[in-house]
Amino acid sequence: MRNNTQNGRIAYIQSSWHSALLAHSRLAFYDRMAHHGWALNRIDTYDVPGAFEIPLMARRAALSGRYDAIVGAALVVNGGIYRHEFVAQAVVDGLMRVQLETNIPVFSMSLTPHHFHSHADHEKFFSDHLKHKGEEVADACEGMLNALNRFELDLPPNDAGQDAPGHR
């Protein structure tokens, strides 16, 4: 079985908008992946101008054959000019399409809050929330890579229907 923590690579693609807040999710992702046994030099980080550009970079990363998993991170907020939900939906749809077309798992850490203002209370709330989301996407990434490894080996799950945490 392939040991992803030793040989695998992950592309982490982040929007440049709200980068100070997104840094909380990225650092939490790194910490959690290290907890799962990944060396940080196995995770490549790419900054793109905005959320809309993430699917193209994800597709390039997937087609390169270099990555076992890809994460897209963005905070898409209502700027009052356009419906931000459409941007967020386009990003998620694009990431799903990349995943299905390339057979490389792609994870969205693209958040679209109903209300966001650059005030201290919102900054604090979203920095904490994004940290939690970074941990969640790391767990999902690790879990899916493990599931794909099990599938490749055609190993049945244990009696409970799930393997123990950390089982490879």
Examine the residue annotation and report whether 150 is marked as an active-site residue of this protein. Answer: no
**How many other C-beta atoms can be found within 10 angstroms of the C-beta atom of residue 86?**
11
* CA 52 and chain centroid, separation: 15
Indicate the DSSP class of residue 18: T
- Give residue for tokens 């905070």: 75
Pairing status of strand 10-15 against strand 69-75? parallel
Taking the C-alpha atoms of residue 85 and residue 80, their distance in angstroms, rounded to an integer, is: 12
Q: Which residue out of 32, 83, 150, 168 is catalytically annotated?
A: 83
Q: Do the Cβ atoms of 14 and 48 come closer than 8 Å? A: yes
Q: Do the Cβ atoms of 54 and 110 come closer than 8 Å? A: yes
Tell me the catalytic residues. Answer: 83
